[in-house]
Structure 1
Amino acid sequence: MKDAFEGVQIFGGTGSGKSSGSGQAIARAFMEANLGGLVLTAKTDEVLTWKQYAKEAGRETDLLIVEQGAPLKFNFLRYELRRPGIGAGHTENLVNLFCSVLEASDRRHGQGGGNDSYWQRTLKQLLRNAIDLAILAADDVDLPSLYKIIATAPRSIAEAADEKWQADSVCFTLIEHSRDKAKEKGRMQDYELTRDYWLKEFPGLAIETRSVIVSTFTSMADCFLRGMLRDLFCTDLNFTPEDSFNGRIIILNLPVKEYNELGQFAQVLFKFVWQRAVERRIPPGVPRAQAEKTIRPVFLWADESQFFVNSYDALFQSTARSSRACTVYLTQNLPSYLATFSGANSRAEAETFLGNLQTKIFHANGDPTTNNWAADSIGRTRQVQFYGGMSEGTGARGGGGMNQSAGGSQVFEYLIQPQEFTMLRTGGEECDLQVDAIIFQGGRRWVTASKTAKTTQNFIRHVFPQLYS
């Protein structure tokens, strides 16, 4: 469990056996250890694989499969408003939910810059005031309500004073309705800030600025306001991330390959909510020894993880061990992460994230960037290279002689050459259902024994049986 809490990253090219080799070995171990967890899906057949794992472990009743047409519903805003914990209901936490999803869809968070920072701040301001208005007026919040507030907000100072607009606007009706409630709750300062934003500051923005802010929100919210995503995430609330703390395994059967951006948005959003729930589940002041005895470990699983990572993952993984959470991410190669963490600092962000996943499992790979990075991660050592030669000379009169030379030099060379990652076995009948892997773990000393000596090194070669080819 100590190793699992420190995180696992599995690399392997398409058909390398990463899912059916090391992936299935770890997944079955989690199931047999009775862990709860969250499974994100990219491919359409992943739910069948997890059903098989659950059947083998006798845990079929522990599965909570979230999919189109299922009775399971998760109104994410209502959950964040009413969830357990003293931090529940804070507007800023609700705002960050949207920003996390926008980050996944936009893929520009690594670019930064003044303009980007400005638009991020103004979008948060819009969301903050819409959420506060909904809570002040109705003690509840959901995405359709926020959409109506923003869609019916005044577009000019003159319109804000127009009686016809006031009579038809949901935004103005809620402003009027929330005044007395805010006074009862002792939140008049929040009310006045919210009122002034909607009646003065928002309509006073330049038309171009206001349209960009509004369209940024509506373009993201639109997919959640119709069809499957509205049914799953904007109606009822009958399951929560806390179910996994009691041993349930939540499978988001909304594969990216089937639902495209809709599936990605939904899973990134729920992953973010789940991660924050995990981080706060151990009460302050509880000693680690006591937590180890009373807090059930949980796992986060993502095959094709490049679809689901964002900047919050590095922060989550930095404290996952004390939260008793096991992260396992599987992807083809390093460039898939570099493309996700785009921008000038993409490599630094990707390596920061990967640095917090202590165990790296490398399967067969044809990508030179990944193979060189793997070789660099394992490191170099001082090695002695010997050389020798022999030559024969022929003189002008037919005579000659033999010349011999020999020598050696010390060089720093890779412990494992990048080429070796291209030759690992990938399973299948031609490989006797054997999948080769090279496992590296930061801070670990592996002792391997041969007929002549024992060797200590920071990696180990391992063969996984391919149970699902």
Structure 2
Amino acid sequence: MLDIPLIDWQVGYPFTVRDACEGVLIMGGLGSGKTSGSGALLAKKYLELGFGGLVLTAKEDELDLWKSYCKKHGREDDLVIIGHGSDQYFNFLDYESSRPDKGTGITHNIADTLKTVIKAGANDGQESDKAFWDASLQQLLVNAVDLCLLTSDNIRFKDIYKIIQTAPKSKNELASEKWRKDSYCFLMMEHAARHLNKHPKTEKTDSLARRLHIIEDFFYGNWLYLSEKTRSIVEQMFFGFGDRFMRDPLYSLFNTKTTVTPEDTIKGKIIIVNLPYLIFENTGRDGQILFKYIWQRAMQRRQIKDKSRPTFLWVDEAHYFLHDHDIDHQSTARSYRACTVYLTQNLPNYTLHAGGGEKGMYRFKALAGNLGTKFFHANSDVETNEYAADLVGKELKWMGSEGQSMGDSASFNEGSSQSLLHIIQPSKFAQQKTGGQLNGYDIEVVVHRQGIPFTSTKKNHALLIINQKKI
């Protein structure tokens, strides 16, 4: 399976399923042909070979694009659309609760999922404070989720929301009869305590009692004694996300019933999450990152056999959909035959959405370093072109020199010396053909791959021509 060729490069050594499993990064400026060129070519090959896949959407026209791909390559029956106005749903809490690991395993699965989506849309602030805010948010989520699991077999997001919304904020509030009567958080803990008191002590009830004691210690202790400012910040981190999930379209899509799961892609389905970021903004981003993260974890649980079907994650405008665990997923994706394809215009897009500055650059390099094949289309961004040129590498070249001096008599001299120069100058990337009638529909793209060099160049890079009319 892994050695099946997908693309027979004209420069030698094909792009195989193995290469696809090592991940792909496509970068190119507006109108460079990254979608209609290398993107369309890869989509064609993945669909023709029967890959299942998850497609995230940034623009409104991406749904129609993938519908046309599936129709053209005989995969219309495999298309599943989850989004505004669709009849497909994914109750992520039921899904996580039905996982084989029980007790605290479920609690932390759900808390980690919520935290990942929340953090993906939050400003990290000062690095020195990041660990503190992360730990505080994690504690809040774990205890709220565990309280739901103690009191009900069917956990619902609205219950998590109400627990956090009505958690005690002061000693006076905790002592108030009105608060005790109205607080969903307090009533849930009281319900759990009464239920446990009705049953004889067993190993199971002792375990449940310990969990309840930990929850009570948190809400009546750690949470209560946080400073008002700190508690308010952590609450707003949650509610900024939670308010979007309590409203449609996210509430209906992800909190009601389940008709599609990430595992459907293993069976060959093409799932499109049609909540375009540029239309739905943060709501669209949250819903798509939620599904993306759960899908990535589902792929990591796969039991791979020799003929296991590869799956793909396709993300155009990928910088909008980054989260803290992308790097970890990509470092092992090859083992699970999960073929990542990220498309974006330039490096600054990534670094800005990955935290900005030096931090954003390190996160980009860590992720890009785990994407084995990179396509560089025409680009006018200096940083991106310098990154591409540095990746291709440098070599010693002889440079001629000449000089003259004027004194009592004129003298001229010539010489040469070796200099370490880019194999492809950064400025050359801005000059590549971008397709269309003017260029005979030819798109020029520099491909860099890890592993076996191209036969034509004896190096790990080559200039390829992709004709839009022949895809």
* TM-score with structure 2 setting the length: 0.89
Asked whether the 8 Å contact 1:133–1:174 carries over to 2, the reply is: yes
Instruction: Give the match for residue 15 of structure 1.
Output: 31
The answer for unaligned runs of 5 or more in structure 2 is 1-16
Instruction: Give the match for residue 406 of structure 1.
Output: 414
Instruction: Give the match for residue 443 of structure 1.
Output: 451
Equivalent of 1:219 in 234, 240, 243? 240
Asked whether the 8 Å contact 1:160–1:203 carries over to 2, the reply is: no
Q: Distance in 2 between matches of 1:190 and 1:64?
A: 40
Q: 1:340-355 maps to which residues of 2 (within 5 A)?
A: 340-343=353-356, 344-355=358-369
Instruction: Give the match for residue 452 of structure 1.
Output: none
Matched AA of 1:13: G
Q: 1:146-157 maps to which residues of 2 (within 5 A)?
A: 146-157=160-171
Q: Deviations over 1:84-137 (max 9, x none)?
A: 56799431221111221122211437x421x33222211111111111110000
Instruction: Give the match for residue 312 of structure 1.
Output: 325
Q: Deviations over 1:73-92 (max 9, x none)?
A: 11222211213567994312
Asked whether the 8 Å contact 1:82–1:88 carries over to 2, the reply is: no
Asked whether the 8 Å contact 1:73–1:231 carries over to 2, the reply is: yes
- Answer with 405-414 or 42-51: which moved more: 405-414
How far did residue 3 of structure 1 move?
Answer: 0.5
Q: Distance in 2 between matches of 1:416 and 1:208?
A: 53
Instruction: Give the match for residue 464 of structure 1.
Output: 466
Q: 2:275 is paired with a residue of what secondary structure?
A: coil
Q: Distance in 2 between matches of 1:294 and 1:188?
A: 47
Question: Does 1:423 find its partner at 2:436?
Answer: no
Instruction: Give the match for residue 61 of structure 2.
Output: 45
Q: 2:309 is paired with a residue of what secondary structure?
A: coil
- Answer with 324-333 or 193-202: which moved more: 193-202
Asked whether the 8 Å contact 1:434–1:464 carries over to 2, the reply is: yes
Q: Distance in 2 between matches of 1:84 and 1:298?
A: 23
Q: 1:354-393 maps to which residues of 2 (within 5 A)?
A: 354-387=368-401
Instruction: Give the match for residue 451 of structure 1.
Output: none
Equivalent of 1:112 in 109, 118, 127? 127
Matched AA of 1:415: I
Q: Distance in 1 between matches of 2:222 and 2:452?
A: 57
Q: Deviations over 1:420-451 (max 9, x none)?
A: 10100001110111110000112331111xxx
Q: Deviations over 1:338-397 (max 9, x none)?
A: 1012244221111111111111110000011111111001100112223468x89999xx
Equivalent of 1:253 in 258, 266, 274? 274
Equivalent of 2:75 in 54, 59, 82? 59
Q: Distance in 1 between matches of 2:35 and 2:172?
A: 61
How far did residue 197 of structure 1 move?
Answer: 2.3
Instruction: Give the match for residue 287 of structure 1.
Output: none
Q: 1:255 to 1:458 in 2, by over 3 A?
A: same
Q: Distance in 1 between matches of 2:290 and 2:221?
A: 32
Matched AA of 2:438: E
Q: Distance in 2 between matches of 1:79 and 1:33?
A: 29
The structure having more radius of gyration, on CA atoms, is 1
Q: 1:194 to 1:394 in 2, by over 3 A?
A: closer
Q: Distance in 1 between matches of 2:209 and 2:77?
A: 49
* TM-score with structure 1 setting the length: 0.90
Asked whether the 8 Å contact 1:80–1:88 carries over to 2, the reply is: no
Matched AA of 2:377: H
Structure 1 ranges of 4+ moved more than 4 A: 84-89, 180-185, 391-395
Q: 1:340 to 1:124 in 2, by over 3 A?
A: same
Q: 2:458 is paired with a residue of what secondary structure?
A: strand
Q: 2:121 is paired with a residue of what secondary structure?
A: helix
Q: 2:306 is paired with a residue of what secondary structure?
A: helix
Asked whether the 8 Å contact 2:104–2:146 carries over to 1, the reply is: no
Q: 1:442 to 1:229 in 2, by over 3 A?
A: same
Q: 1:418 to 1:144 in 2, by over 3 A?
A: same
Q: 1:360 to 1:240 in 2, by over 3 A?
A: same
Q: 1:413 to 1:99 in 2, by over 3 A?
A: same
Q: Distance in 2 between matches of 1:14 and 1:309?
A: 21
Q: How many residues align?
A: 447
Q: Deviations over 1:207-245 (max 9, x none)?
A: 333222222211210011012111111221221111111
Asked whether the 8 Å contact 1:101–1:269 carries over to 2, the reply is: yes
Q: 1:50 to 1:467 in 2, by over 3 A?
A: farther
How far did residue 404 of structure 1 move?
Answer: 6.2
Q: Distance in 2 between matches of 1:209 and 1:48?
A: 45
How far did residue 204 of structure 1 move?
Answer: 3.5
Q: What is the percentage of aligned positions where both structures have the same residue?
A: 40
Matched AA of 2:151: A
Q: Distance in 2 between matches of 1:245 and 1:181?
A: 42
Q: Distance in 1 between matches of 2:295 and 2:230?
A: 34
Q: 1:392 to 1:103 in 2, by over 3 A?
A: closer
Asked whether the 8 Å contact 2:21–2:340 carries over to 1, the reply is: yes
